[in-house]
Structure 1
Amino acid sequence: MFADIVYQSGDQYIQSFEDIQAGILVFLPCWIGLLMVTIVIRGCVKLPGMQSSFGYLMKYYMIAGSIAPINMGVFYFFGVMMDIKFVINNSRIFGMIALILTPILQSQLLMISLNRFFALATPAYYKKMFELKYQRVFVFLCWSTPLIYTPIITYYNDCSYKFYHYGWLFTYVINEKCGNKLEIMLRGVQAFFAYSMVLVDIVTILLLICFRKKVLQSHSAQIRRREISFGQQVVIQGFVYMMYGFWYNLGNRWIPQSIPENWRIFWTTAFSANMLHIFGTSVIFIFNSEFSRWLRCYKREEIIVVSNTSN
Structure 2
Amino acid sequence: MCEQCGPVGAAEELHDHGPAGPSRRKLLLGVGAGLGVALTGVPALTSSAAAASLKDGRWCNPALGYFPAGGGYGVPRGGLPHAGQDVTNSSGTAVYAAAAGTVVRRGTNVISGRTGNGIVISHGSGRYTYYGHLSAFRIGLNAKVAAGQRIADMGATGNATGPHLHFETHSGGLGAITNPVSYLAARGVRLGGGWSSVDPGAAGATIKVVQYLMTQRGTKLEADGTYGSVSVGAVKSFQKAKGLVADGQVGPKTWAKLVYTLTKGSSGNHVRALQTAMNKRSAGLAVDGTFGAVTSTAVRAYQSLNRLVVDGEAGPKTWQALVG
More strand by share: 2
Q: Tell me the TM-score normalized by structure 1.
A: 0.29
Query: Relative contact order (alpha carbons < 8 A, sep ≥ 6): 1 or 2 greater?
Result: 1
Q: Tell me the TM-score normalized by structure 2.
A: 0.28
Higher Cα Rg, which structure: 1
